[in-house]
Amino acid sequence: MSPTEHITQTYRITATRIFGTLIVFLVLFSRTSWKLGFASSVIIDLIAFAFILIATFGRLWALAYISGNKTSKLIMDGPYSMVRNPLYLFSLIGAIGIGLVSDNVIVLTLIVIMFAFYYPFVIRGEEKRLRKIHGKDFEEYRQNTPMFIPKPSLYREEPLYTIDTRLFRRAFFSVMWFPLIFMIMILIERLHGFALLPVLLTIP
């Protein structure tokens, strides 16, 4: 890693931690001054839940293809046939869902900014490594497959696919963070409603 890359990564990690801490604080101890009606609140929560489901099953789908094959093989089937970074795409969808269920536009905005700030560096580093390992095969894949916006017309899959079941089991438990966080956000909202969790900041 070059000195410039080291400095960039250090600042990126620091900034991500700051953003993360701020988001946690806002979720726990702030609420918006906007008054949503019951119907509006339910609709937003349902949309957020749909995003969480898409993220959970989408990440599990993508992880099934890389379980045991992440470094030894260039994965170009399933979700990876439509987009080069399905895991990060589904993570962003899940993060937006979490931002929506927070009922706080500042939290949603910070989550999107954090992803926009963090993931381009991660993707650049991973693609640099894949280029070294797979050479022309990866270059051809990169040129023909979108980085972040799926292209369904490219979809392809093999009828049989071998995965490492141990890694897939770990992947299954890792994706459960999204529905768990969703439930925690609902709980925090209820605690605010019953004044069991203090509101230290009201956001206009």
How high is the pLDDT of residue 144?
Answer: 95
Distance, CA of 128 to CA of 2 (rounded, Å): 14
pLDDT at 59 over 90: yes
pLDDT band at 10 (very low <50, low <70, confident <90, very high): low
Residue 155's contacts (CB-CB under 8 Å, 6 or more residues apart) are 81, 82
For the chain, the farthest-separated pair of C-alpha atoms sits apart, in whole angstroms, at 60
Tens digits of residue pLDDT in 141-166: 999 999 999 999 999 998 888 777 78
Q: Rg of the chain over CA atoms, in angstroms?
A: 19
147 vs 111: CA distance, rounded Å: 20
pLDDT, residue 204, reads 63
pLDDT of the residue at 164? 78
Residue 13 predicted with pLDDT over 80: no
Q: pLDDT per residue over 35-51, tens digit each?
A: 777 788 889 999 999 99
pLDDT band at residue 70 using 50, 70 and 90 as cut-offs: low
DSSP H helices in the chain? 3-29, 38-66, 79-82, 86-101, 105-134, 136-144, 165-175, 177-193
The residue ranges of every structural domain in the chain are 15-203
CA dist 10 and 12 (Å) reads: 5
pLDDT of residue 153: 96
pLDDT at 1: 55
The pLDDT tens digits of the residues spanning 160-181 come to 887 777 877 888 888 888 999 9
What does the pLDDT look like over 81-140, one tens digit per residue? 999 999 999 999 999 999 999 888 888 998 888 888 888 888 888 898 889 999 999 999
Average pLDDT over residues 9-38: 79
**pLDDT confidence bin for 3, thresholds 50/70/90:** low
